[in-house]
Amino acid sequence: MPLTITPFSGALGAEATGIDLAGPVSREDVAAMEAALDEHLVLVVRDQSYSPPQYLAAVRHFGDTMPQHLTEMLMDDHPEIAVLDSSKTRVGPDGIFAPVGAREWHTDHTNHERPPKYTALYAVKLPASGGDTGFANMRRAYEALPAAEQADLAAHTVVTKIEDHNYVSDEAREKYGKPRTHPLVRTHPSTGRKALYFHPGKLRNLEGMDPESSTAFIDDLVARTITPDVTYRHKWRPGDMVIWDNRAVLHIAHRDYDPAEGRIMHRVLIQGEVPF
């Protein structure tokens, strides 16, 4: 069965069927999937079955893997894989009991000098119901703004920090905690299109603004731009691997299930470039 890519109706997303990324994959098929990601930003690859080494090999068709700073969640034998297990969630310093990725809309690992271009998430165990992941097309969100506001936002830069949660070790904070500065409006290196780019949980401040004003600014931007017409809510099926483009997509893990059930996802990041 040949690779088939079927776009979803709406703001973003497409489905890839007829391919087994655990087996031999042609360069033509990889190129077609990368083109789908450039256009649709989120690609749902159905009916996959991986051992950890197979999963890493599958993801590496799309680039080099990169380190993750979720220290307590890294797989012992394969530290490029973070095991996101909701049953192991602990209350954070803010008093919130929320699995990783469930606190706010965000893009991954913005505290790195070269944040990931893609995130891959593979469903290992799903709750009886719920546990969806939401995605927001921040390219469309930016393009819907008035030209004057686009120009104003493009003048801002974001100073990032590493998140203040207990799953990050002191060693990881030392290694990955240096503040980084990235543009609030990012240009995609393949398409040249611009998108809003930020992680509220890693926001230290916007350059020229204090932290409190910066947080209020980003909160207002989220509230105004992440609307139903720019989002897609993925309902997971067994065997799904979802790949998304962090350079133009924000995502959130919905908390519409009992975390004690153990929603288990394996996450791998693909190395990106310095944002511009």
pLDDT tens column, 142-162: 999 999 999 999 999 999 998
Options 3.40.50.300, 2.40.30.10, 3.60.130.10, 1.25.40.10; CATH for 4-270 is 3.60.130.10
Instruction: Compute the distance between CA of residue 230 and CA of residue 241 in angstroms, rounded to an integer.
Output: 22
Neighbours of 1 (CB within 10 A): 7
pLDDT tens column, 47-79: 999 999 999 999 999 999 999 988 889 999 999
pLDDT of 96 > 80? The answer is no
Structural contact between residues 158 and 183, judged by C-beta atoms closer than 8 angstroms: yes
Q: What is the 3-state secondary structure (H, E, C) of the chain?
A: CCCEEEECCCCCCEEEECCCCCCCCCHHHHHHHHHHHHHHCEEEECCCCCCHHHHHHHHHHHCCECCCCCHHHECCCCCCCEEEEHHHCCCCCCCCCCCCCCCCCECCCCCCCCCCCEEEEEEEECCCCCCCEEEEEHHHHHHCCCHHHHHHHHCCEEEECCCCCCCCCHHHHHHHCCCEEEECEEECCCCCCEEECCCHHHEEEECCCCHHHHHHHHHHHHHHHCCHHHEEEECCCCCCEEEEECCCEEEEECCCCCHHHCCEEEEEEECCCCCC
Domain boundaries, the chain: 4-270
Q: How far, CA to CA in Å, does 232 sit from each of 7, 9, 123, 130, 179?
A: 12, 9, 18, 15, 31
pLDDT tens column, 216-267: 999 999 999 999 999 999 999 999 999 999 999 999 999 989 888 889 999 9
Q: Judge if pTM exceeds 0.85.
A: yes
- Matching residue, tokens 């307590």: 72
